[in-house]
Amino acid sequence: MPDDQRPSTLLPRLKALGLAPRKGLGQHFLTDPNILQGIVDAADLPPNAVVIEVGPGPGALTAALAPVTGRLIAVELDHRLASMLETLYADWDHVHIIHGDALKLSPRQLLEETGGLASYFVLGNIPYYITSPLLRHYLEAEPRPQRLVFTLQLDVARRIVAQPPQMSLLAVSVQVNAIPRIVRKLPPGAFTPPPKVHSAVLRLDVREQPMVPDALREAFFRIVRAGFGQKRKTLRNSLAAGLDLPTNQVEEALQAAGLSPKARAQELAIDQWLALV
């Protein structure tokens, strides 16, 4: 790895260029080589893997990924950093630096514009404020990735991996499509500048087929959203209110699905929600 791509030299390089992390973009940079290597290891990449990196920032994770991938597509919103990365990787034919919004660029578009459709992985130290939409963007994409590894807020990671009786709409939405697990926890001091919260490295193994068939997806999430719309209430009341149905009709549906009308949304597993569709 050339010296100007080493994680230890990237922040000084930013400073020399007069660049600083932008608070408005939620930029907190990881440069610890051990943590970065741990993120790469968590992805369990096969030889010549195709990887989409979301939010490379100054390129610390990019530097760890470039030598072990067959194609690396790094999508950076900040034009200052994208320009710097384009210079750093000008001689790397398999590294593609894309200046753009990851939420507006479909994986199909990114793959087709950099060599064609292929099985792919997604990694990134992502801005925490786009966690939910970014997960949805990739987990509901066509084609979907094999695996995602993101650094995100620890509390959000815990919500994603939760099980009954601590489920949430976020947990259901993610777990329908993938199997999540927390790989490691990171203190604020691991980042520059340090965020105000603890973080985690989250691995999501995408299911070959979502737990909810496409034909039932709209109805399934309409029911789930209604249930979590007033999660402190019993399902009988939250579903009646959210779906605009008579309480007795909701009770009958719950009983037919083998569920107590007094149960609450956070207590249900995904297959129990499916029984209501």
* Percent of the chain whose pLDDT exceeds 90: 78
Q: Are residues 126 and 16 in the same domain?
A: yes
Q: Are residues 174 and 267 in the same domain?
A: no
Q: Are residues 166 and 246 in the same domain?
A: no
The arithmetic mean of pLDDT across residues 35-60, rounded, is 95
Contact 252, 150 (CB under 8 A): no
At residue 18, the pLDDT reads 61
CA dist 4 and 206 (Å) reads 35
At residue 171, the pLDDT reads 98
- In the structure, what pLDDT confidence band is assigned to residue 254 with cuts at 50, 70 and 90? very high
End-to-end CA separation in angstroms for the chain:
53
At residue 30, the pLDDT reads 83
Whose tokens are 């207590």? That residue is: 267
For residue 233, give the CATH number of its domain: 1.10.8.100
CA dist 194 and 212 (Å) reads 39
- The H or E element that residue 250 is part of is helix 247-256
Structural domain total, the chain = 2
Q: Are residues 190 and 225 in the same domain?
A: no
- The H or E element that residue 197 is part of is none
Mean model confidence pLDDT for the chain: 91
Q: Are residues 29 and 72 in the same domain?
A: yes
**Domain residue limits at 258:** 214-274
Model confidence at 8: pLDDT above 50: no
For residue 155, give the CATH number of its domain: 3.40.50.150
Kindly report, residue by residue over 53-109, the tens digit of the pLDDT.
Answer: 999 988 989 999 999 999 999 999 989 889 989 999 999 999 999 999 999 999 999
Q: Are residues 202 and 218 in the same domain?
A: no
Q: Are residues 19 and 115 in the same domain?
A: yes
At residue 3, the pLDDT reads 47
Triad 233, 239, 244: Cα angle to 5°: 125
Q: Are residues 154 and 241 in the same domain?
A: no
Question: Strand order in 199-206's β-sheet?
Answer: 95-99, 69-76, 49-54, 121-125, 147-153, 199-206, 178-186
Q: Are residues 185 and 225 in the same domain?
A: no
Model confidence at 5: pLDDT above 60: no
- In the structure, what pLDDT confidence band is assigned to residue 196 with cuts at 50, 70 and 90? confident
At residue 193, the pLDDT reads 79
Going by the DSSP 8-state scheme, the letter that residue 59 receives in this structure is T
Q: Are residues 110 and 221 in the same domain?
A: no
Model confidence at 170: pLDDT above 50: yes
CA dist 51 and 46 (Å) reads 11
Burial tier of 24 (Cβ tally within 10 Å: 0-12, 13-18, 19+): exposed
